[in-house]
Amino acid sequence: MSELAGYMYNYTTVPLYDTLGVHAIEYIVNQTDMQIIIASPDKASVVLAMKSKLPSVKTIIVMGDVDEALKTKAGLLHVDVVSWTGVERDGRERPVHATHPTEDDIATICYTSGTTGTPK
């Protein structure tokens, strides 16, 4: 659903595969200057633990419940943490007109591990 919403509002989506490891996540987030990450609660904790190496990250949207410990840690790191259900609610209450992409826009950047070195 988040990927389709990204297409609708002309955001470039960049999947993060935890199977690539935290070094790959750091590389991908920094190379793409990623500001918003959508993650499960456990992966949101991983991203917050890496925040000092991820200066562009401003918001984490959590799929599931956001507990107080996660909110507190995020606040100390100056990261907004919101729930996916909160995003859905906000969209219903305050809809925003879509900014559809053009043929020159990038839809998705998808990295692969390759065989050696950083993701490609």
pLDDT in tens, 5-22: 899 999 999 999 878 888
Is the predicted pLDDT of residue 120 greater than 90, yes or no? no
pLDDT digits (tens, 9 = 90+) for 95-116: 999 998 999 999 999 998 766 7
- Residue 98 is assigned to a structural domain of this protein: no
* Calpha distance 118→120 (Å, rounded): 6
pLDDT at position 69 over 90: yes
Number of domains in the chain: 1
Taking residues 28-51, report their average pLDDT. Answer: 96
Question: In terms of residue numbers, what domain contains 40?
Answer: 2-93
51 within a domain of the structure (yes/no): yes
pTM of the model: 0.91
Domain-located, residue 88 = yes
Distance CA 117, CA 48 (A): 24
Residue 11 belongs to domain with CATH number = 3.40.50.980
Distance CA 13, CA 61 (A): 14
Residue 82 inside a domain? The answer is yes
The helix/strand/coil state of 21 is: coil
